[in-house]
Amino acid sequence: MKKLLCLLLVFCMVGCGSSNEGTASSTDEEGPGQEIVDEDVTPTFGTVIEFSNLEIIISESIEFIVLNNEFVDLNGSDIIKIPVTIKNVGSEDGGFNVYYVAKHGSQGATLEGVGDNYVDDDVRWSGKVDSLSSGESVSVFMYILYDGDGDYYVSFNNRSEKIEIRLPITK
């Protein structure tokens, strides 16, 4: 009887599970300016991502730097400097909303922001991505607190689409 109950439970979980689990996009249908990413492929360094009429490419040419700001608690911490290219592929002017981005470390925790220490070229603070003309492209950086080797995740979520990018990082 227990085996039958377990089998029924497994079938119910499989039948009720989300078809987007583990995918790079939570949209089920292709819409204007977006493409559905193959469910079996998790985007990573170098993958061209379309999100909110923007093309985003995270380069694998990362650098490790040390935070040098005696006025912050994280002074002396290791930081990952990640090159990012963002292009407006929409037909109208638009921008990148930095509040749609979350960064998760190798331990799974949401990482504290450190980009405000690099305001000249950080994706969030530089102002270079706020307003992009149609076809315009900018190169900026994402600064992520290093918390050990492993898979880091950057997710983009504007409530209508979500994309998660896996970044395998080894120092």
Mean of pLDDT values over 75-100: 89
pLDDT digits (tens, 9 = 90+) for 97-128: 878 888 999 998 998 778 776 656 666 555 66
Q: How many CB atoms lie within 10 A of CB 14?
A: 8
The reported pLDDT for the residue numbered 72 is 85
Rounded CA-CA distance 129/137 in Å is 9
pLDDT digits (tens, 9 = 90+) for 57-68: 999 999 999 988
Statement: residue 93 has pLDDT above 80: yes
The tokens of 68 are what?
Answer: 């040098």
Structural domains of the chain ordered from first start: 2-169 (2.60.40.1240)
pLDDT digits (tens, 9 = 90+) for 25-49: 333 444 433 344 555 678 999 999 9
Give a three-class secondary structure readout of 28-43: CCCCCCCCCCCCCCCC
The reported pLDDT for the residue numbered 126 is 58
Q: What angle do CA 18, 40, 58 make, to 5 degrees?
A: 110
Rounded CA-CA distance 84/141 in Å is 5
CA dihedral 35, 40, 41, 42 (to 10 degrees): 100
